[in-house]
Structure 1
Amino acid sequence: MKAKNILLSALVLILLSVIIFIAMSIKWEKVEQEIGLSSEAASSPLLVASELVKLKGKTLTTLDSKYKLVENNQLQLPIQSSLILDEASLKEYESLDVRTLDWVTQGGHLIYVLSPRHEMLINALANFQQMTGVVPSLVDGNKRRNNILVTPTANLEIEYAKEKAKIYTPYQYQFEQCSGTKYSVKIPIKDEADEGTKPEQDSEKDSEQEQVNQDITLICEMQYGEGYITFIPSIDPISNMGIKHLDHGAYLYWLIGSNQDLYYLPSLVAPSWLYALWQWSWLFVVLTISSIAGLIWHLVVRDGRGITPIEDKQTPFSIHIEASGHFMFSNNHQAEVKQSLINDLNKKLEAKIPHFKYLELNKQIEALAKLTNLEPQIIEKLLTSEIPQDSAEKIKFIKLFRTLRKSL
């Protein structure tokens, strides 16, 4: 027994030694993988930017209430500061466009950011566009960043600290009628003026000639009174997931300029889920609504039941008998009802008394009296009398016939 225990202990020791040796031989590598934003970063899109500006001794403050911004019909911000303004907030704050431009006129710096819901805000933005003269216009093609983890290809260059900084800004609109400094990108567009007039064999040869480059203004910086306004198409480059790519940190410093304080006024109204779904795929929304409408139309009652049931409903035979009786009596067919009862009685007795219906009346009465123990007078009345017209007598007559039938 001792030898067996010693052997088992030795095997366990050897096994543990092998496991320890293998574990120490493996070269462990720690890999950090991005899985998304923290809850704090998800609720504050410029959290990283606020930490970045601290390195320059500057501050970034998010304004989450209109009472922190507007008081006594004036913008409560320092003149020598910058304000990042989501244009959707112009609809949420009364007369904010006028108050903001008054503040800019005195020397403030406004960073005007286009909203993803720009097309829904046309009426609310009309006054601001009229006062500044800058009008966003839709550009063919959606230039949104598809993967926020992949570094995009730069589409703009700016100069910061005497060096070129490359940035990528998603855009759906360009800024027209910009009277200040323009930062543009060239995009190829197809000249469709003569489309359809050239022979088909020349279409491929002339395709390059039909391609022309168009300058579209993605950033517009203009003087306005004592201050200035910077129009940008998206806040994505300086957001938590965008600022780590390319030279977007330099882009943030370029936007602030020499000002020490930066304020951010986001839109406090989130877009509806239906609008977000429409932006993702309008065709999916249309097909879904059409399918639901078709289903409702198919199920509602129109000229009868919308759907004919496949299963057959079985009605008890007694209900048929009752309905037939009501019909016969209401149409004065008592004789036919009486004859039907006699025929049913004859069929029932045929097995017990062959040729019962051909017997004389007195013999039928005698045979039924023996089988049912009913009085012969009652049986004779049932066989020879007509069904009474009076309701009470009629019910009594039918009950007696039922008793006779059950006795058999």
Structure 2
Amino acid sequence: MIASNFSLHKSIDSKIVLYVVAQFIIISSLFSSIAPDYVNKVNGQVVHQKDVSFIGVDMKGLYTSTIHNNRSSIPFPDNYYNDSFKLITNAGMNHIRYVLYWQAYENDPISFTGELQTVASLADKWGLHVIYDNHQFHTSSWLDPIRGSGFPPSLFSDNASYPYGSGGSPADPSAFNWWTKWWNHTITDNKGVDGWNLQIGFLKKVINTVENHNSTLGYEILNEPQIHSVDEWKKIGKYNTFMVNELRKITNKTLVFDTTIPVELHNLKINMTLENMAKLLPTSKDNVVFKISLYGIPAAGSYQEQKLNLLAALTNITRVPLYIGEWNDVSREEHINGEGQVDNEINQAVSDLNQTDAYIMTKKFKDIGAWGWAFWNWNYLPDSTPDFNLITVNMNGDMETTKYFDILKHVVANS
């Protein structure tokens, strides 16, 4: 899920609109050789951008999502994947964005790999298309022991620049230091091994486990990487190119790269223009899609609408399909973090999604020609934000769907 560090805007600023249009024209000239009737070949199928080909949910598992050694007291359901995939398929959906963590692999590689094999086999059975998402949130549990996940502790330990528990969100100095070094390609583990190559090694293990399954749609390189300065756009593009080139040695399936966070449209430190965002694209764009997250209704004049329109403009110009890899509706409040900086945190008590707003959001995705979307979130563990729970599991391991699953099911049936 996207870490929130942005300002909401209640009205359209005409100067900003003109600025975005100008950026659109500038970057269009960079891609003038691309035919307007471009289609992208995705997983062996020719997919027009105007079609929403893949609709489904984000899903978490057990060993693939365990980032701490301690386990929840809630039991993992015996038939979690078979029962879940049956419900999802019967609701008219055809897609899973499967969330997994590099750190979880390091914790227990055998159980991690075995669970991936189960997911792929049962997805084959139910005719689902799976994107395997290399997820991170707040960088790592090393920096944020309560909420952080993703990068393994071996990339942080024994380094005074980012001590344990010092914060992994975009507003935290430790995260700033670590991500700056990551984009400079200078992060190593505690044995001195290059971080980018270590990540490639992890992704190749995932690919080798599930590549030969019909259900495997593709792989997400890195969920929501952080950006802290304007010079990092080009560096992130080099990283994406490196990852795509290495992974293309073993797979021709869809590769997903992400928008950066924070998504701050008026932050001059990162200068989030179309021209700069285009630098994120890998050199080879064949069978590559661009993933974003949207946690709010894109109402006219809102920050969410401006954000979505800007990112959709990027994909229209570059002809790289747009993937709404996470979506939901939440309310946010400003909080001051330990460094005295403003964070926009989710107000869990009032966050909710109703049927009307779900229709509005999915219609918008169709109108802008999204390649696919996945609703956040399907997880056997409860989330304190109500609409992040599509299912509930009791202490006996029995699973039930929530009202949010019914909302999603009605959206699919009427789309």
Fold in common (TM above 0.5)? no
Structure in which a larger fraction of residues adopt helix: 1
Over alpha carbons, which structure has the higher Rg?
1
TM-score, scaled to structure 2: 0.24
Q: Which has the higher contact order (CA 8 A, sep 6+)?
A: 2
TM-score, scaled to structure 1: 0.25
